[in-house]
Amino acid sequence: MTGAPTIEVHGLRKAFRRKASRPGVLGALRGWLPGDVDVVPAVREVSLRVGRGELVGVLGPNGAGKSTTVKMLTGILWPDGGEARVLGLVPWRSRRELARRIGVVFGQRTQLWWDLPLRDSLDLLRHVYGVAAARFAGNLAAYGEQLGLGEFLHVPVRQLSLGQRMRGELVAALLHDPEVLFLDEPTIGLDVVAKGRIRDVLRGLVADRGVTVLLTTHDMADVASLCDRIVLIDHGQVVHDGPLAGVRARFGRECTLVVDLAEEAPEPLGALVVPGAREVRARGRRRWLEFDRSMTSASDLVAAVASRYPLADLAIEEPGIEEVIGRMYAAGSGAARG
C-alpha cells in the first residue's frame, strides 16, 4: 500500500430529521406545525482508512448506519460533519466525477431499466458512463460469462429472478472499470451458486485489478470467504476494525468441549476445577463444557476431565462465524451505549 489511502474517512456524522409522528388526532395535527421533528443520529462518528486493493466488510446490526455511511461515501448524501476522500475526491462535492470512477450496487434497489431487456440497460449505462465500445464489449463478455448472464440477457429486467437481477446489477456496476466498488448487501436473496459466482468475481477484481471493495452484508459466509478486514459499525460508530483473525481471537475464544463419559457420573461433574471452564449442558453421559481458550488449553481440559472420569469419546467445537459475529454485536452494543 503506497501513497494516500483509496478511502479515507474522518469523524463522519449524519443525523436524519424526521417529522415526529405522534399518536391520535391531536398528534397528527401537531405534525403540521413546523419544528416538531425527531432527530435520528444515523452515523455518529465513523473514521476509517482503506488502502488500494483491500476488501473490507462493513458489518453491524440493522439500523447501525452502514447504508447511510455508504451513501455519504458515494456522494448521494451530504454529511453533517466530518471529512471523507475517495480516490482523492470529496464525494459529495465531486459527485459526478467520482461516480464515473466507482461502482455502486444497492442490493435492495435497482439501477436497471425495469421494463427493458437487461442487455438494453447495460447498453444505456455504457453511454451514461461514456465507456468505449470495445471496452464495453470486452467487459460484458468477461463478466457476463463469469456471472452467467447469457441465458437472460434478452429478458426484461422485471421478469428476472432476484438472483439473476443481482448478477445483472453487478455487471452493470463493472462495465466502466470502477476503481472502487461500494456494495450494500450485494448477495441478498441469492442461492449458493450465485453467491459463489459473485464472490469469485470480487476476489478476481481485487487480486487481478487492484480494485478496492467496501461491502456491507449480513451474510457471514460472505465475510468468512471474502473479507480480509472487518469494520463493525454499531449505533453509528466504528466499534471494531481489524482482520477477521483478530475478531476470532477476540470474540471467538469460547469453545466447547463435548465429552461422552464411559460411566455414569453426577450432574454437573463434581470436583472439576479448571479455570475458565464450566459445564453448560448435560444429557445423560454427554456433557458440554465451555472454556475460554485464553485461560486454558483444550488438552489441559481434556486431561483434567479424563483424570477423574473415563472418556468414551470427545469433540471440540469452535464457534461458527455467525456466533463470533453475534458475540461481537452483543459486545459492541454494550460498548456503544456505555
Ligand X SMILES: Nc1ncnc2c1ncn2[C@@H]1O[C@H](COP(=O)(O)OP(=O)(O)OP(=O)(O)O)[C@@H](O)[C@H]1O
Which segment (66-74, 79-87, 93-101, 309-317) binds ligand X by CB under 6 A? Answer: 66-74
> Reading across the β-sheet that carries 7-19, which strands appear in turn?
81-86, 7-19, 37-50, 237-243, 229-234, 55-59, 212-216, 180-184, 102-106
Q: Does 67 bind ligand X (CB under 6 A)?
A: yes
Which segment (63-71, 88-96, 219-227, 317-325) binds ligand X by CB under 6 A? Answer: 63-71
Q: Does 68 bind ligand X (CB under 6 A)?
A: yes
Q: Does 69 bind Mg ion (CB under 5 A)?
A: no
CB of 77 to another protein, least distance (A): 5
Q: Does 80 bind another protein (CB under 8 A)?
A: yes
CB of 59 to another protein, least distance (A): 21
Among positions 14-33, residues that touch ligand X (CB under 6 A) are 16, 18
> 213-240: string of b/e by CB count within 10 Å (b at 16+)?
bbbbbebbbbbbebbebbbbbbbbbbbb
- Helix, strand or coil for residue 174? helix
Q: Does 66 bind ligand X (CB under 6 A)?
A: yes
Q: Does 96 bind another protein (CB under 8 A)?
A: yes
- Cα–Cα nearest to 173, from 104, 126, 124: 104
Q: Which of 90, 114, 138, 268 binds another protein (CB under 8 A)?
A: 114
Q: Does 237 bind ligand X (CB under 6 A)?
A: no
Quick one: 16 or 288, whose CB is closer to ligand X? 16
Q: Does 68 bind Mg ion (CB under 5 A)?
A: no
Residue 59 in grid coordinates: 458489518
Cβ–Cβ < 8 Å for 241, 277: no
207/55 Cα distance (integer angstroms) = 10
Which residue's Cβ has the minimum distance to Mg ion?
67
Q: Does 22 bind another protein (CB under 8 A)?
A: no
Q: Does 102 bind ligand X (CB under 6 A)?
A: no
- Helix, strand or coil for residue 77? coil
Which segment (114-122, 141-149, 215-223, 224-232) binds another protein by CB under 8 A? Answer: 114-122
Phi, psi of 289 (to 5 degrees): -115, 120
Q: Residue 105's beta-bridge partner residues?
A: 183
Percent of the chain that is helix, strand, coil (3-state, to 5): 35, 30, 35
Strand bridging mode 180-184 / 212-216:
parallel
Contacts with ligand X, residue ranges (CB under 6 A)? 16, 18, 40, 42, 60, 62-68
Contacts with another protein, residue ranges (CB under 8 A)? 14, 16, 71, 74-80, 92, 95-97, 99-101, 104, 106, 108-111, 113-116, 120, 124, 127-132, 135, 156, 176-177
